[in-house]
Amino acid sequence: MARALSAREAMNIKKRTLDFEGGMYDAFGQPERRGVWFVWGESGNGKTSFVMQLCKELARHGCVAYDSLEEGTALTMINTLRRYGMDEAGNRFRLLDCEKMDELGARMDRHKSPDFYVIDSFQYTQMTYREYIAFKEAHRDKLIIFISHAEGKMPAGVAARKVMYDATLKIYVEGFKAFSKGRFIGPSGEFVIWREGAERYWGGKNEKQD
C-alpha cells in the first residue's frame, strides 16, 4: 500500500503541463500533459476544425497520433488534413488508419511512442465504460483525447457520457466555439474556432432572445 501524502507533499509534486498560449490558453489554461480529454458536439459546428487546430498546438509540445477510426485514410480525411495544413506539423503528426484499440494500446506501450493520442471517434471504438477504465489505467503516462458524436448538448450513448464525466478536460463544441466544461479552465473558458461563423451563430441567438 502506498504511503498517504500530506497536503503539502501533494502540492509539491511537480506536474508536466502544456504551456498553451493565445486562444488555447484563454480557453484551457495550462493543463497536464497526461490524462483523458473528451471533445463532443454536433456536426456542422466546427468540431473537426477545432480538433485539427488542437492537434497543431499539441504538435508544438510533442508527437500526436490521430487514430482515424471512422474515415481511415479516405479522401475525405486527406482533404481535411490538406485543408488545415497538417503537413506543417511534419513528423510530429501521425495518421493511423483505423487502428483497433488493442493495436493502439500496443503502440502506446512501445519505447518512444507518441505523447498524445486522438481517437476519432469514441463510438467507433465500441468500448464499454469498464473497458475504457482499463485502457486509461494501462496508459496513465499518455494524453488520450476522445472525439465523440453528440445527441443535443450531450455525448451520444451511455458509455460516452460516463467517459465525459470522468475526463480531466471536457470540451463542448457549439457554434464554432469550444467551451471548457471543467477541471482545466483558462481566463475566458472558450476558444473561438472560426470568428465569422461564431459571430453569425451567437449573434443570431442574441437577436432571437432580444
pLDDT at 207 over 60: no
Higher pLDDT, 119 or 184: 119
Rounded CA-CA distance 17/190 in Å is 19
pLDDT band at 31 (very low <50, low <70, confident <90, very high): very high
Convert 146-159 to b/e letters by CB count within 10 Å (16 or more is b): bbbbbeeeebbeeb
Rounded CA-CA distance 105/14 in Å is 26
* pLDDT mean over 116-134: 98
C-alpha cell at 166: 470522468
pLDDT band at 161 (very low <50, low <70, confident <90, very high): very high
Rounded CA-CA distance 19/163 in Å is 25
- Give the rounded percent of residues in the chain with a pLDDT score beyond 70: 95
Helix (H, G, I), strand (E, B) or coil at 162: helix
**Preceding omega of 188 cis (within 30 degrees of 0):** no
List domains and CATH numbers for the chain: 28-194 (3.40.50.300)
What pLDDT does 14 receive? 76
Cβ atoms 62, 114 nearer than 8 A? yes
- The β-bridge partners of 120 are 68, 147
From 4-8, 97-101, 156-160, the region with the lowest mean pLDDT:
4-8
How much is the mean pLDDT over the chain?
94
What pLDDT does 205 receive? 66
Handedness of CA 111, 163, 53, 17 (dihedral sign): negative
* pLDDT mean over 112-128: 97
C-alpha cell at 182: 471543467
Contacts of 34 (CB under 8 A, 6+ apart): 16, 140, 141, 142, 143
E-state strands within the chain: 35-40, 64-68, 93-97, 116-120, 143-148, 150-151, 154-155, 169-174, 177-180, 190-192
Query: CA geometry: angle at 103 spanning 154 and 146, to 5°?
Result: 15
pTM of structure: 0.92
| pLDDT tens column, 164-198 | 999 999 999 999 999 999 778 899 999 999 999 99
What pLDDT does 183 receive? 78
The residue assigned the cell 463510438 is 123
